Structure 1
């Protein structure tokens, strides 16, 4: 059975608040600027008044993703439309074993091949190889996640034609007040400064996050 990472949010501020969730961008080798997407967004009433808890769940399984777009990424806009994803392994740090850590993209039709073992993939990463293509359209490649039942491209770079992109996902998720439509490009640097952090890198699977009445955050990992 797949392992789920769970974030439970309580709101102790007097007013109903919107919350959105996003992931620490992966480390990329190949490609240019790294972009982040919002993964989930929903409003939540005061806990004392409503008893409501907002739960965000993401599958621990790693996914490679590719997405087609008409324009380069823009903050606040959807990152693209047609997309494909594949469950994929990460290259081991020790060099032992032969995980299925390499997938090859196609653009017509849009897709990713079944992953196989690839030589020279960065430790802790997976590799996406892109074919020859002309833009527009543009193609985004990167790390996708299974969130609350659907797969969303979490963070990405614009793909270069006929190139390799190695992507090393990071199991850190953030919660911030406000609203970003899931699948839309957000400003990670600005949003993460005052956000609550759920750091699952130590093997934890549940993080309870509280927005306190004074606007500060409290987090508890378990």
Structure 2
């Protein structure tokens, strides 16, 4: 039986809203720039006047994906064309079974990916795409993690520009977001900006269904559901937790992490104080940070001070 992740969205505002769905970027070896595509977008009438609920369902399966670039990735533009995908397994932890964790990319006579097989080398929780020799002056390719919807549509969820003759290791994160706005599937979007005050659907703990409500004040309520045994012994969906996101949390997210030059916000979070070393929790974009890199940290709006990220675990980072 295919395992799926389902996100149901209800619009409790007083007007038509456009919603789009996207995934937290994976971690990629080598620290290249990571791009994110929208997975799905649809307009939704207010529930009070229409009774409409927007549902997006995807298959819980990891896919390696490659795609030919038509132009360098740009926010608001399609990421590419002529894509190839392969269902793939993640590398087991030390001592675990060998998995089909590696696929070989081909560009001639056509773009493709080989049937995955096991190789040693990829880190636990990642898969590998082995790229061939090609001339990036003549053609460039996107490579990364793909998602398949229940309808069968495949979208390159997040990706990097592939380098020739190299090993690209990708560690996917099964955390999804819902935000207001319009980005059609396969269109490059700005993850850092779009994830701020978005609804978060984190499937990492085993949740498979998320009932997301867009509230009249612009905030979100997310009910996390999981398949469990009911009182009558049958299996069914049970609400496990409820989270709130959006402007109600704005005062709590009092910390910002900027790039080393201090010219752009990479992540927001919560900090008790900014005396180094400081710990910032509830990071909204931990995938954009890396241990042993320099950043500017401080309260929202500044002042900021230079600090190195010395530890990163989940959505918590330490800066010294």
* Distance in 1 separating the partners of 2:128 and 2:105: 10
- 1:115 alignment counterpart: 116
Are positions 1:201 and 2:204 aligned together?
Answer: yes
Shift of 1:122: 1.0
* Distance in 2 separating the partners of 1:134 and 1:29: 21
Measured against aligned partners, the alpha-carbon deviations of 1:3-41 in whole angstroms (never above 9, x if no partner) come to 000000000100000000000000111361000000000
- 1:126 alignment counterpart: 127
Measured against aligned partners, the alpha-carbon deviations of 1:188-220 in whole angstroms (never above 9, x if no partner) come to 000001110000100010011000111110000
- Give the counterpart of 1:170 among 173, 186, 196: 173
Output aligned runs, 1:1-222, within 5 Å: 1-30=1-30, 32-108=32-108, 109-135=110-136, 136-149=138-151, 150-222=153-225
* Distance in 2 separating the partners of 1:177 and 1:45: 13
Judged with a 3 Å threshold, the aligned counterparts in structure 2 of structure 1 residues 31 and 141 are, in CA distance, closer, same or farther, namely: farther
Measured against aligned partners, the alpha-carbon deviations of 1:52-96 in whole angstroms (never above 9, x if no partner) come to 000011110100000001221111110000000000000012342
Shift of 1:137: 1.8
* Distance in 2 separating the partners of 1:177 and 1:158: 28
Check whether the contact 1:30–1:164 (CA below 8 A) recurs between aligned residues.
no
Measured against aligned partners, the alpha-carbon deviations of 1:142-183 in whole angstroms (never above 9, x if no partner) come to 000102421110000000000000001101000000100110
Q: Whose radius of gyration is greater, 1 or 2?
A: 2
* Distance in 2 separating the partners of 1:96 and 1:192: 34
* Distance in 2 separating the partners of 1:35 and 1:52: 32
* Distance in 2 separating the partners of 1:86 and 1:155: 15
* Distance in 2 separating the partners of 1:6 and 1:201: 14
What secondary structure, in the 3-state scheme, does the structure 1 residue paired with 2:81 have? coil
Q: Cα RMSD over matched residues? A: 0.9
* Distance in 1 separating the partners of 2:113 and 2:32: 21
* Distance in 2 separating the partners of 1:85 and 1:129: 13
The structure, 1 or 2, with the larger RCO (C-alpha pairs under 8 Å, 6+ apart) is 1
Check whether the contact 1:31–1:157 (CA below 8 A) recurs between aligned residues.
no
Q: Which runs of 5+ in 1 are unaligned?
A: none
Q: Which runs of 4+ in 1 moved over 4 A?
A: none
